Amino acid sequence: MIYLFFSILISTGLFVIFKYFGIYKVDILKAIFINYIVAFSLGFAFAEREFSFAEIPSQPWFFGAVFLGALFVAIFFVMAMTAQRNGVSAASVAGKMSVVIPVFFGVFLYNESVTFLKVIGIIIALIAVYLASVKEDKIATKNAGLLFPILLFLGSGTIDTTLKYMEVMFVPKSDVSIFSGSLFGIAAIFSLSILLIQAFKKREAFGFKNVIAGIALGIPNYFSIVFLIKALQTEGFESSTLFTINNVGTVILSTLVGILIFKEQFSIKNKIGVTLAIVGIVIVALA
């Protein structure tokens, strides 16, 4: 249970960090690259066993790590844009209500329970994503839109589903840090490739604040994945139950942070959306 608690806490912290990226005009891609270098280093520094880099490509989880590494780069960028344009709570809801995706696959892949209540909870969750993300003001709607929340919803769900599949099928407990470090290293390669392409088009200094921002992001990012995987390896929890508890905790905490720290304004629709997010995710958990 302690792993689940820290997963909730750190996941909320990621949304807050991305919000500050917007405030301090941090170059998101450069910070994300440094973040992955940091997370990659931590993964191998905390490895549970001795290993050599040469053995990594032959590991059964390697291709899953490649897929996740590429997806991490894309979704981190989307998460940052959602937090900056739609707000911390909207980013949290869009990302965390994606729990409906691993719950859906859990039913088919791991024969987890499915009930009428669980289906109702999923429907409520989808409605909540829209209501929590939409802006009443026409100018805000034009500037923010729903594209990034929707992409975050789908991408986060795919990440959770793939992580669960890799944990069940390929990643032993002795390889959690090595697996995490590998996928972060692969993500660093993908983000570096994008940076190099940008460098050919526009040459500019990397920026010291982008390095600091990347370090600040990389440490919690690494532990967010490690704690989630370790929580998934806890006996006695169905993945659908664990994901729902993790996600509802993050939604509630992120909403409080958005209101108390960033003074985010919520329309009636937004408030209904956040409320429905909590109701929907609780229904799924209880089902």
pLDDT value of position 36: 93
pLDDT attached to residue 135: 60
Q: Tokens at residue 159, please?
A: 């990440």
pLDDT of residue 136: 56
The backbone torsions φ and ψ at residue 188, rounded to the nearest 5 degrees and listed phi first, read -60, -40
For residues 277 and 195, give the distance between their C-alpha atoms in angstroms, rounded to a whole number: 36
Which residue in this structure is represented by tokens 């937004």? 270
Q: Does pTM surpass 0.75?
A: yes
Q: What does the pLDDT profile of the chain (287 residues) look like in tens digits?
A: 789 899 999 988 998 898 898 889 999 889 999 999 999 999 999 988 888 889 999 999 999 999 999 998 888 888 888 877 887 777 777 877 787 888 888 878 888 777 888 788 878 877 877 787 666 544 444 456 788 889 999 999 999 899 989 988 999 888 999 999 999 999 999 999 989 988 888 888 889 999 999 999 999 999 999 999 988 888 777 787 788 788 778 877 887 888 888 887 777 887 888 888 888 778 877 76
Q: What pLDDT is recorded for position 209?
A: 94
